[in-house]
A and B are shown apart, each in its own frame.
Chain A
């Protein structure tokens, strides 16, 4: 596959534009697909960059979003813009959909994509941050449903109310539960195609994000997919040991992976938690961790407006699946809400969850194993790395570049929310396999599209 990465580490629009145009002038092939990634600092200046690409490649299949950082050659930058332009030796298409509600959007997208592809890269917002009015509406509904939830005495009714609230969040296209999205896409695309999920969730949230670009259009809160038919491999990796064969076995494994582990009881319905050990999830986290700053609704809104609302927490709840005994986690942060959305459907997990503090045994090298595990020689690797590594290891993420040099011919990588996957055949007992062949966790996963 012919491929070229063009980039600029500058957040200054005119400098970045000049640099990108200069590199585009040197391009000696006609790309049939383009992946365009902005860092947070370039979000405001995106139009000028998009126009540079659109003017030259109006018919090239294009997908784009905002990333935390990118890897070009031996360098990692958390600022500027980067794009992969490639001439894939096969069929490549981009599809997108934006309907009323998360489920309808994904169903529609799945119908458009259809079956027969060899790899699908699926982009959707795990949680969508609307404008100020949308957020205020969200706060009001949180209070309204929580009022109903606390008044209700029956356990079954409490769960029904949580499901109702979960349906409201999905219906408003605010929440796209990752495992449900992958399940729908896998069903609609025949179940034989591996799907890598780019379940977007920024490190710092701001209004009307995550941004999703499909064929140069901004489609958030919709979803988009780039589909490949030809010589392409998908590789998924998690940094965890394999899961157990029972709740107790997986619980012991989680205890060995994380710190400060404690078993807790959660009342949950749909993709929403209402109660952790008799407290709201946010009150629960406040009793555990005193270092978190208090977030009032006003501060929350201000931080979203300024793009400073932190979305990553080192504390969370791990839920064990009744189907697979795999586990996925929800990060906990003391947001000014009472009912707490989860980024995955909690329908088929045990009520006994595990509170933990995040800690990766093996350090950053564990994340680099994905490159060492490549089974086939590739000519170009596009990879998605868990952006939590930036928070955990800072400049030490350069270790990944050293591992890349030994295991890849050419590459381009992005640091993004940890990718999910639907895998038609599963090579190991992934701890994060929350449903059969569906893997997701809020940290510790990575993926590669390897072009042969």
Chain B
């Protein structure tokens, strides 16, 4: 399963402009993580994300929040629900075209949803 997830997310994490791709379970546990660049640089953001994730997930699933977007300096974090139990989080630098990335994230979410048997 992890291999299949990795294959679906490969077009995203192989992009040098994307610093991190994480697939979270509803309880906030990451089930797939891929980082581009030094881990210590991303650690503080990961720590912050871990604290936010459960509340975010609550909003996404109980209040129909479609997506969430945070910006720290030149780092942006995007969160998109994949299914009723999974959220895809992408960390990117500010030079990445957000319009195009949004299309690719949606494609990845549809692929992941299909893999999980979730039809949206």
| A residues whose Cβ falls under 8 Å from a Cβ of B | 9-12, 15, 41, 68-69, 74-80, 203-204, 308, 390-391, 394-395, 397-398
Contact = CB atoms under 8 A, between A and B. Distances in A.
A134 B39 CA distance: 43
B110 interface: yes
Place the interface of chain B in its size category.
10 to 19
Q: Which of B98, B102, B111 has the most CB of A within 10 A?
A: B102
B37 interface: no
B81 to A, nearest CB: 12
B8 to A, nearest CB: 9
Given A68-B100, A79-B104, 14 more contacts: A15-B10, A41-B15, A74-B110, A75-B107, A76-B103, A78-B104, A79-B15, A80-B11, A204-B97, A308-B95, A390-B100, A394-B103, A395-B103, A397-B103
Contact of B14 (A11, A69, A308): A11
A394 B10 contact: no
A9 B110 CA distance: 14
Contacts of B71: none
Nearest to A401: B110
Nearest to A308: B95
Contacts of B107: 9, 75-77
The 5 closest A-B pairs by CB, nearest first: A395-B106, A78-B100, A394-B102, A9-B11, A395-B102
A10 B103 contact: no
Contacts of B105: 395
A314 B26 CA distance: 39
A79 B14 CA distance: 11
Interface in B85-116: 95, 97-107, 110-111
A241 to B, nearest CB: 27
A175 B120 CA distance: 46
A404 to B, nearest CB: 14
18 contacts: A9-B104, A10-B10, A11-B11, A68-B100, A74-B110, A75-B110, A75-B111, A76-B103, A76-B107, A78-B97, A78-B103, A79-B100, A204-B97, A308-B95, A390-B103, A394-B99, A395-B105, A397-B103
Interface of B: 10-11, 14-15, 95, 97-107, 110-111
Contacts of B100: 68-69, 78-79, 390
Nearest to B100: A78
B97 A69 contact: no
Contact of B104 (A12, A77, A308): A77
Q: Which of A41, A391, A394, A395 has the most CB of B within 10 A?
A: A395
A387 to B, nearest CB: 10
Contacts of A78: 97, 100-101, 103-104
Contacts of A74: 110
Contacts of B99: 390-391, 394
A9 B105 CA distance: 12
B6 to A, nearest CB: 12
Contacts of A10: 10-11, 14
A74 B114 CA distance: 12
Contacts of B102: 394-395
Contacts of B106: 76, 395, 398
A308 B14 CA distance: 20
Contacts of A391: 99
B14 A12 contact: yes
A12 B15 CA distance: 8
Q: Which of A77, A394, A397 has the most CB of B within 10 A?
A: A394
Nearest to B80: A395
A334 to B, nearest CB: 20
Given A75-B111, A77-B104, A15 B14 contact: yes
A341 B53 CA distance: 49
B97 A77 contact: no
A41 B10 CA distance: 14
Contacts of A69: 100, 103
Nearest to A415: B103
Q: Which of A10, A15, A79, A390 has the most CB of B within 10 A?
A: A79
Contacts of A395: 102-103, 105-106
A41 B104 CA distance: 13
